Structure 1
């Protein structure tokens, strides 16, 4: 029984869970701690939405696609894993807007499609004169800091600063739900703090051009690894050998005693642990957390499914090749696709490839119809859109569909306000019992957030276990 009390069970083998396990493993070795840990993964493979395939000798990421250097700095973590030298940075300019009828390419500096300097709004192609006037006047006269009020969403903030038309056509297409969450449901500081720096106050760009240009869309802002993002999960897994348990679906979580938890697996087996770290999708976690205690109201999320279609295309068949990395497509178009990227234009390793390799993403909040269709029907719809966008003269040589059902959880703005409070009751009550809850969407989205959250969860679990080991109250 004493050995079981020293065990930390990590539920989920995605990037959060692997990072948490890596940090726990490091703490055990460096501090000579008497603890052990296990990782319980429901599927037969680790990585979550990181999925790298091999095509003609090229590593292609068909799920999560890249890190953005403008977000949280994780270079120290990658350096520690020996991956810093494996980076490859994007080239080929930036993504441009395809509105369903024409390509709208703005030559001004932009941040996620929006003018980096508001005076440049006059150069924005595709905007009406009224939209340009509204954005310009807001930049001069309005300085209210909506970002300080959690009752306002990112959508509210950007509409106030830039106007509705700019948000719909220049911002929304460049912030995919699977990387940032929904701008209608996220306060701006949690969604993307860079927006506060750039658009938070009137005249923010005055005399600060050089400082703000580092945020500009374009080559070098994204990076992956030469062998794909799976290099990261594989490297983490190397450090965790012997601690990974695959095909282990958690059915329930309960208390054996004040200092011991019971994790039931696959409906037949069970495991005891002194502490549990939860890193699975909140909608999945709810299945085993909801019954843990009637006293704790775990927030319920509404999730969105997303998908990716990979195409291998004869170069001679493409008549409308994007000049930049590819296209983003606004919600207010007839297309289901949200983004189309030509990998040959984006990553240096693909420049000399004999074929074009194209990734198309689809899936938005409140638009579940397409993702629920059979694979062949989805493939036909997306393929026809690709043929129209790229003006193909022949069928793609190869196409493969990847689906992530209910992968992107969304919380209401009111739930977010409660979750962001320092003394959030649900988090505190679980922590008192040795349960530390994370997962995509809990504190943010994207791979950078997954690494940061994994580190935090590991630190909280280790501190709890140390208190238990010293026979102190873990709730002190």
Structure 2
């Protein structure tokens, strides 16, 4: 049991949070709630604004998120956080418009009843894959399944073997590319479809049976949620509630001292802390901890990352876009983008312009190697126009646009990823914890959960 003296001590503690993205800001807020008003909480981040990949821009007068765009509404973390912050009324749902898949030069409906594109029934892919593939899928329950409980193959390995390569390329890859900026060949099954892996562990006799068992129950509301006014509304409230001090500097080193830690910034200034949250991407974590946590640094260095680019457009009102939420791209053909979001259609938000997002960049695709670094804004804008013409037959000069480059922002959850994360956490010394999209999930709700766990472990309210 903790005494009142210990509580008083914790109130006056000094916390440093390295990284001002959603993970760092949620950690700062949770620390404030737990440690009280007297605690010192400093967020160190050299960016021009806080929020990291949560970035809202005004484009032709309309707020639009040009980083993370939506959160999975089925997970509880975001609805709970919004309610806690008094922002529940700001939550919006999708209009119900469905996305399409672009494959072999045509647009197809997104298959229903899948787990991240892994189908539960062959008929869902009718028209998207050929008849021979459908027959192979129909026969899948009759073929012996070799599965070792605890195994973590890539999604491409197991889906390709059981259902056929066309299913990987045309149904699974488009969804995983949109989430991870990777592909079924770079993502492990336990990360992309943990419920499918769990069903196989329990003894499912086929992949078909496992996917059917893993399908979530029907959702009465919207699959995705967002915030009216953009994620900047959440960022500003987290900053206000956490009463943090923002140091606009880069942390170059961390040193152990007698009563905690010294963080050294790029100017040589030292920032003392009793405890530290490192809310930086995996590549940025490695040099900060290599000297005193080599086990954790080695594990973090094994997590690949991808970069991505978002081009956000405001097209003239009345531009004849389809009544769909967007397009996921299976095989690009003449296209450059990996995904297109018809934001005005997706969220049912009218205005003086049609808002559209195009995403570029996919790890492991030579044609898309290093797009975020090597392709200029004007070329990306030209590519966007060409893709909209190819997909929808429209040619419209944008009223305004923004280009957002997300360098090394998309961690790849390869086979054995959970073991790497366990190594990272186990190798850290007391008083230093991690948070971020590379740990327990790349989406905003998972980042909220990881940051909450990190803060709780420092304040004695968690494991």
Give how far 1:355 is off.
Answer: 2.6
Structure-2 residue corresponding to 1:172? 173
Q: CA deviation at 1:120?
A: 2.6
Match of 1:118 in 2: 121
User: Once superposed, what is the RMSD of the aligned Cα atoms?
Assistant: 3.3
Instruction: State the SS of the aligned residue for 2:338.
Output: strand
1:75-474 counterparts in 2 under 5 A? Answer: 75-99=79-103, 101-105=105-109, 108-115=112-119, 117-121=120-124, 124-141=126-143, 145=147, 148-176=149-177, 178-179=179-180, 183-196=184-197, 201=204, 202=206, 204=209, 212=216, 214=218, 220-241=222-243, 243-257=244-258, 259-292=259-292, 297-298=297-298, 299-300=300-301, 301-315=303-317, 317-318=319-320, 321-331=321-331, 333-348=333-348, 350=349, 352-366=350-364, 367-372=368-373, 373-410=375-412, 413=415, 416=417, 418-421=419-422, 424=423, 426-432=424-430, 434-463=431-460
- 8 Å Cα contact 1:278-1:438 kept in structure 2: yes
* Partner Cα separation in structure 2 for residue 404 and residue 207 of structure 1: 36
Where does structure 1 lack aligned partners over 5 or more consecutive residues?
Answer: 468-476
Q: Residues 65-80 of structure 1 correspond to what in structure 2 (within 5 A)?
A: 65-71=69-75, 73-80=77-84
Distance 2:98 2:218 in 1: 14
Cα pair 1:181 1:191 within 8 Å, conserved:
no
Q: Matched residue of 2:371: which SS?
A: coil
Query: Residues of 2 paired with 1:56 and 1:296: CA distance?
Result: 45
Q: After TM superposition, give the deviation of residue 261 of structure 1 in Å.
A: 1.1
Deviation at 1:142, TM superposition (A): 5.1
Describe the superposition over 1:213-259 as per-residue Cα deviations: whole angstroms up to 9, x where unpaired: 5269xx72111011112221111111022x231412101111123x4
| Cα 1:280–1:331 shift into 2, 3 Å | farther
- Distance in 2, matches of 1:94 and 1:145, equals 34
Q: What is the deviation of 1:94?
A: 1.5
| Equivalent residue number for residue 9 of structure 1 | 16
Q: Distance between the aligned counterparts of 2:409 and 2:111, measured in 1?
A: 35
Q: Quote the offset at 1:47 in angstroms.
A: 0.7
Contact 2:315 2:354 in 1 (8 A): yes
Q: Which moved more, 1:360-369 or 1:59-68?
A: 360-369
User: Would you say the 8 A contact 2:190–2:415 is kept in 1?
Assistant: no
Could you tell me how far 1:325 is from its partner in structure 2? 0.8
What is the DSSP-based 3-state SS (H/G/I as helix, E as strand, rest coil) of the residue aligned with 1:176? Answer: helix
Deviation readout 1:165-203 (Å, 9 max, x if unpaired): 112101110123655865434432333434447888346
* Residues 196 and 297 of structure 1: CA distance in aligned 2, closer, same or farther (over 3 Å): closer
TM-score, normalization by structure 2:
0.85
- Which runs of no fewer than 5 residues in structure 2 stay unpaired? 1-8
Report how far residue 271 of structure 1 moved.
0.9
CA–CA distance in structure 1, aligned partners of residues 276 and 111 of structure 2: 50
The whole-number CA distance in structure 2 between the counterparts of 1:184 and 1:337 is 19
For 2:212 and 2:250, the matched residues in 1 are separated by 55
User: Displacement of 1:46 after TM fit?
Assistant: 0.8
Q: Distance in 1 between matches of 2:272 and 2:286?
A: 20
Q: Equivalents in 2 of 1:275, 1:58: separation in Å?
A: 40
CA contact (8 A) 2:100 2:324 kept: yes
Q: CA deviation at 1:68?
A: 1.3
Maintained 8 Å contact 1:18/1:236: yes
C-alpha separation between the residues in 1 aligned to 2:354 and 2:336?
22
CA drift of 1:452 comes to 0.4
Q: Deviations over 1:321-365 (max 9, x none)?
A: 3332111111453422011111221112x2x32331111111111
Q: How many residues align?
A: 445
The 10-residue stretch of structure 1 (365-374 or 243-252) with the greater mean CA deviation from structure 2: 365-374
Aligned-partner Cα distance in 2 for 1:261–1:329? 47
1:287 Cα deviation from its structure 2 partner: 2.9
Closer, same or farther: CA 381–429 of 1 in aligned 2, 3 Å? same
Instruction: Give the Cα–Cα distance (whole angstroms) in 2 for the partners of residues 314 and 297 of structure 1.
Output: 49
More displaced stretch, 189-198 vs 55-64: 189-198
Aligned to 1:18: 25
CA displacement at 1:18 relative to structure 2: 0.9
Once residues 400 and 339 of structure 2 are traced to their aligned partners in structure 1, the CA distance between those partners, rounded to angstroms, is: 19
Cα distance, 1:265 vs. partner? Answer: 1.0
